[in-house]
A and B are shown apart, each in its own frame.
Chain A
Amino acid sequence: MAEDVINAEETEDKKPKSKDEVRVAVIACERSVNLEGELNQTKLNGVDNCDVIQVPCSGMIQPRMIESAFKAGADGVIAMGCQIGDCHFREGNKFCRERLLGLRPPMIKKTVPKNRLQGYWMSEVQVEEFKARIEEFKIHVADELLNEAAEG
């Protein structure tokens, strides 16, 4: 992959967008929602502007991965693991959730827009629910962008 893509300019001030323009990045545990046959490379089928990057466990999601998604132009980011209480590696989703809530180091940087960051905890069998929630999330992100622009 070309260097210039990797080092592309960071997008700073966010402008309001319609729900259809909102770009979502999902960093997902490969054992949570089963996305076999649902992805075209990283693009989620049936949902516009949604990229999914899968990792072995949501507990692997390092705060800087979330930052990098925002920096690369995501308007909203979702960290997704299995249902809380069930984790193949026992505690991964619990730790990830604590990091999203700012309760566990390493901490997420203050500059990350927390109101456009969410944690989803879903099991393998909840594919349709997952897609439906992404659509809701886009509306939420569009609203937040509008608020942010209004606040200046």
Chain B
Amino acid sequence: MLTNIVRGGQKVILRLEDILNKIFSSEQNILYYHGAMPNFFMWMLFLSGLLLFAYYTPTLEAAYQSVEYITKKLPYGDVIRGIHRYAADAMYLTVILHAIRVYFTDRYREYRIIAWYSGIALSIFMLVIGISGYILVWDQRSLTIVNKFAEFLAALPFIGETLSHGFINGDVISNYTMSMSFFLHTGTSFALLILLWVHYMRISRPVVNVTWAIGSLLAGMVLVVAGALPALSGEEANFNAMLPSIPLEQVDWFYLWLFPLIDTVGNYGAWAALILGLVVVTLLPNFVKSEDSEPASVNKDSCVGCRLCSIDCPYEAIYMAPRNDGSKYKELAVVINDRCAECGLCVGACNFDAIELPTYRSTEVMDDIRIALLQD
């Protein structure tokens, strides 16, 4: 059942990509940059964020006004703010696309497990960045977010109070709360970079950059939206007229969906949903039965240490070890078994039949070719 849905999804994706290939060529097919697109938006966010950072003041009194200053007085400040807002939405949207594609094309388990788990962590980090970002504006929505999020954290048994206290950064909302949100926003952004390094750890030559054409298109789209729907603040935060919930038209559905969820099912319900969701995505790789692994293996006597296999291996599963076993060659290819995808790229790269997939050796492939052709 699950397998059929996944296979169906893969067919839809492949058909769509085929159409885009025919229109734009595979080089310029945006769907082939599903990992590079969030990366591109992330750099847009760092750049626009740097400019906002220069004029932003994280205090209760000044935060709102500093954002107003950026938006209304600073030349192009409104554009920069709009870019920051919509690049953030675009980043989440493309991350979702990316996650869907790796899931439906079955590229998320076994030797890719680090990328999957770190991807889950990345999406949680992005939520933290988004929620804290909406606090920094310090309008009525920000105040509601702080209150509701503090209550939400406090609802967790045992550690809830501590977390909530840490988030407010004291007993009541104060300048320290603003510092905390500012820290959560910028600190988590940098932590995202470290996590991305983990995300790419097992991937040789990850495709992290879009082409110029695609980059211009994506940046242009963000600019158009930023121009058409300027990112504006609401009323300044007012402790005497606190909103019980975020009005639905003010919800950013990529980053703030947690708040309508809390309004609907309560704090405990939202925690339950969140934890359940997390458990399901974490266990997704375990729902599929893995086949027995039969990693590539190297024949010591034939390997001349030319390195071609270790260069071509797409999952960094081969390293070159110095050899001192009396061979006239200096290095030997060594396969790290649990990183091996059993793809055979190393076999295609080796001119000495020195590295082989035990399930289908290159000599067997050649025999099969001859047999097929010489049979009749």
Contacts and interface: CB of A to CB of B under 8 A. Distances in A.
A5 B370 contact: yes
Given A25-B372, A53-B369, A125-B18, A88 B348 contact: no
B82 interface: no
Contacts of A72: 369-370, 372-374
Given A55-B344, A60-B343, A90 B314 contact: yes
Contact of A73 (B26, B351, B374): B374
B289 interface: no
Given A59-B348, A73-B373, A83-B26, 14 more contacts: A27-B369, A60-B357, A62-B347, A62-B350, A62-B351, A62-B362, A72-B370, A85-B21, A85-B27, A85-B29, A89-B315, A90-B314, A92-B348, A126-B18
Interface in B104-140: 105-107
Interface in A79-105: 83-86, 88-92, 95-96, 99, 105
Contacts of B369: 25, 27, 51, 53, 65, 68-69, 72
Interface in A1-26: 1, 5-6, 8, 23, 25
B308 interface: yes
Contacts of B347: 60, 62
A56 interface: yes
A1 B315 CA distance: 36
B275 to A, nearest CB: 32
Contact of A125 (B15, B107, B367): B15
A105 B308 contact: yes
Interface in B22-46: 26-27, 29, 32
B366 A8 contact: no
A68 B349 contact: no
A105 B106 CA distance: 30
A108 to B, nearest CB: 11
A47 B203 CA distance: 39
Contact of B349 (A5, A71, A106, A126): A106
A23 B372 CA distance: 11
Interface of B: 10-11, 14-15, 17-18, 21, 26-27, 29, 32, 105-107, 203-205, 308, 312, 314-315, 341-345, 347-351, 357, 360, 362, 365-375
A148 interface: no
A23 B26 contact: no
Contacts of B10: 124
Instruction: Tell me what chain A mostly uses at the interface: helix, strand, loop, or mixed.
Output: loop
Contact of B14 (A55, A69, A124): A124
B373 A51 contact: yes
A66 B143 CA distance: 68
Contacts of B370: 5-6, 8, 68, 71-72
Contacts of A53: 365, 368-369, 372
Interface of A: 1, 5-6, 8, 23, 25, 27, 41-42, 51, 53, 55-57, 59-65, 68-69, 71-74, 83-86, 88-92, 95-96, 99, 105-106, 121, 123-126
Given A25-B372, A65-B369, A90 B203 contact: yes
A125 B11 contact: yes
A74 to B, nearest CB: 6
B18 A83 contact: yes
A76 B344 CA distance: 24
A56 B344 contact: yes
Contacts of A99: 348
Nearest to B342: A56
Given A1-B371, A62-B350, A73-B373, A85 B314 contact: no
Contact of B372 (A42, A63, A92): A42
A124 B8 CA distance: 12
Contacts of B17: 83, 85-86, 123
B36 to A, nearest CB: 12
A99 B360 CA distance: 21
The 3 A-B residue pairs with the shortest CB-CB distance, nearest first, are A60-B344, A89-B343, A85-B32
A1 B364 CA distance: 12
Contacts of A64: 351, 362, 366
Contact of B105 (A63, A74, A88, A125): A88
B368 A57 contact: no
A68 B360 contact: no
Contacts of B368: 42, 53
A65 B314 contact: no
A23 B93 CA distance: 49
Contacts of B106: 88
A121 B315 CA distance: 22
Given A65-B369, A68-B369, A60 B348 contact: yes
Contact of B345 (A60, A84, A86): A60
Given A5-B370, A125-B14, A91 B312 contact: yes
A78 to B, nearest CB: 12
